A and B are shown apart, each in its own frame.
Chain A
Amino acid sequence: MIKIELPDALRSLAGGAREIAVEAGSVSEALDELGRLYPEARLRILTRGGQVRPHVNLFVRERDIRAHDGLNTVLEDGDSLLVVPSVAGG
């Protein structure tokens, strides 16, 4: 089981949940699962073409997935995928 941790800004698009549990073997699969449950939430993270949006970062084991294997980063049971979008508020 993988835990997707959603930022405050995306929770309203996922039924208010802070965390979504999915079965997935990679970041890409986890986001596909998220998309099946909450298509709009996925669309805030990935473009329709499937690229991570430039104002969003994804972290696995406290490191940017770009420092792992990008969307192909392998997830193991118990891992969490943290979604960090850009916010500008001050």
Chain B
Amino acid sequence: MVLDKRLAELRDRIQQLSPAKAHERLVAGAVLIDVRDPGELAQGMPAGAHALSRDELEMRIDQLAPPEAPVMLICASGPRSLLAADTLARLGYEQVAVVTGGMQRWKREGLPCTRPEGIDDDGAERYARQLNLPEIGIEGQAKLADARVLLVGAGGLGSPAALYLAAAGIGTIGLVDDDRVDRSNLHRQVVHRDDRVGTPKTDSARATLEALNPNIDVRTHQVRLNSDNVEEIFSNYRIIVDGSDNFPTRYLVNDACIRLGLPNVYGAVQRFEGRVSVFAAGGRPCYRCLFSEPPDPEFAPSCSEAGVLGVVPGVIGLLQALEVIKLATGVGEPLIGRLLLFDALGTRMRELALGPDPGCRYCADDREFPGYVDYAEFCSGRASQDLETND
């Protein structure tokens, strides 16, 4: 009611132009400002208009027009442009007009439209609710499209991460996994399906992701990661997501990320607990700063042996996806130098501070890369040695 009254009052004193008239003036050189949100702009805006949301209007209007110049405003259907016109009037702009019927009428009348760079018809619709977030917007969406993210493991962590990263529009998603879909995977590895039991996980995951979002590029690497292939595979990507299920791979991922200067988005789960962190490019801290060496195999049952509630990797894998999106867009505060612990039974999250290990063999200052370790042998050989020397 208050708003209706206000809008009626504004209509009485602010000049209103038909879209055709506004277009005529625009062509003659007048300034037209579209005050809608980025998600709406992505659906199309008047050709030749400037995009300036109502939040930015006061701060940036003088870059587009001095107070003595005529300024026209357009929104979706009218109200926001009236309120924006009032704002400009208060700033001292004397010749402010709004386009009646807004963008809806502009389009209906067949006047020329354009789309901000970096977004196509499908993207404008698909990502509309994400584009509408000023923190993401068209610029952020373009960064997601440019992102190249490798998921190590298409399992419990990789499944939810892959689904949401594909949905969010990560342009290139790589999947490394040499395993095949087993029925016992399906309670947590939700990117796969019952009718794909027995097929390679990489193929199964790709089929799901392409069905979800045909506009991304999904690349598969159906191999077991090892010291011979890790650099060749990783060098095609900018962000690595560690969703592996064994220590040898986790150390290989860490060491290759340090070597190649890639961020490592780490997640791990067991039974009812999970944890997540981001080890920045160059480490300090890195995974080895936290856990310098793998445990003896007897202390370290893998997920398949230990059991895990399916929801737990779901939660952790999605937190990894969140961190990827933040790294790719530069939005927010990444989980660098922090370890987040998730206790499913208590439904608690706990954040621990992580610092660099000044003696870290891989990421401490001025260290020469010590090379990759053959972990399978390392673990079993080391186990007996450890008992003799340290125990």
A-to-B contact residues, CB < 8 Å? 7-9, 44, 47-49, 51, 53-57, 59, 62-64, 66-67, 82, 84-90
Contact = CB atoms under 8 A, between A and B. Distances in A.
7 contacts: A8-B272, A9-B271, A9-B306, A62-B351, A64-B354, A84-B341, A87-B268
Contacts, number: 102
Contacts of B353: 62-64, 67
Interface stretch (B90-98, B192-200, B222-230, B286-294): B286-294
A89 B352 contact: no
B153 interface: yes
B390 A89 contact: no
Contacts of A88: 244-247, 250, 268, 270, 294, 300, 302-303
Contact of B391 (A47, A62, A82, A86): A47
Interface of B: 153, 155-158, 242-247, 250, 267-273, 275, 290-295, 299-300, 302-303, 306, 308, 313, 339, 341, 350-355, 357, 386, 390-391
A50 to B, nearest CB: 10
Contact of A90 (B267, B292, B341, B355): B267
B300 A90 contact: no
Sort A-B residue pairs by CB-CB distance and give the 7 closest, nearest first: A89-B303, A55-B295, A48-B391, A90-B245, A54-B293, A87-B270, A86-B291
Contact of B270 (A8, A48, A67): A8
Contacts of A84: 275, 339, 341, 352
Contact of B290 (A7, A48, A57, A82): A57
Contact of A54 (B157, B271, B292, B354): B292
A88 to B, nearest CB: 5
B273 A7 contact: yes
A84 B271 CA distance: 14
A90 B386 contact: no
Contacts of A59: 352
B243 A90 contact: yes
Nearest to A88: B247
A66 B355 contact: yes
B268 A90 contact: yes
Contacts of B352: 59, 62-64, 82, 84
Contacts of A56: 291
Contact of B247 (A7, A66, A86): A86
A87 to B, nearest CB: 4
Contacts of B350: 62
